[in-house]
Amino acid sequence: MIRRRQHEEWMRRALAVASTSPEDVPVGAVILGPDGAELAAAGNERELTGDPTGHAEVLAIRRAAARRGEWRLEGCTLVVTLEPCTMCAGALVLARISTVVFGAWEPKTGAVGSLWDVVRDSRLNHRPEVYAGVLEPECAALMRDFFR
């Protein structure tokens, strides 16, 4: 119960971050350190930067790694409003993110259980713990409203 409340609190922060990029698909990502302190946050910046890798998760991972001064983000939690795609799922595995918390499922491109399940692939050397569907109605509504 306590964990669920913490995940919801963090997801509210990710939802707020998602709302900061009105020109791009509204996805927000927040990375918390092992102590629960926020290390980095990002929204999608593909349209802003013209960079196809400018997904919220990738940007948050880059910023968290820069802040920690190392690429290994062991003990960290990634909270994101939308199920990560294959690129982002691969990045979070390679960064050694320990926990992934996401809101809305993405049946077209999701790689944390929907279309693929990259993060639980037993052939990989790192498999984060996953909590799915946190504040799912709010996260899904953000996507529906954007694509209307």
Residue 76 confidence (pLDDT) above 90: yes
Please indicate if the annotation marks 126 as binding a ligand: no
The proportion of the chain whose per-residue pLDDT surpasses 90, expressed as a percent, equals: 92
Lateral strand order in the sheet of 28-32 = 38-43, 28-32, 77-82, 99-104, 129-131
Q: Which of 57, 70, 129, 136 is catalytic?
A: 57
Active site residue 57: yes
pLDDT (0 to 100) of residue 2 = 74
Give the separation between CA 39 and CA 65, rounded to whole angstroms. Answer: 9
Fold (topology level) of 1-143? Cytidine Deaminase; domain 2 (3.40.140)
- The partner residues of 40 in beta bridges, in order of sequence, read 31
Residue 1 confidence (pLDDT) above 90: no
For the chain, which residues make up each domain, given as ranges?
A: 1-143
Average the pLDDT over 85-109 and give the result.
97
List the beta strands (DSSP E) in 33-138: 38-43, 77-82, 99-104, 129-131
Q: Structure pTM?
A: 0.96
Give the separation between CA 32 and CA 70, rounded to whole angstroms. Answer: 15
Please indicate if the annotation marks 76 as binding a ligand: no
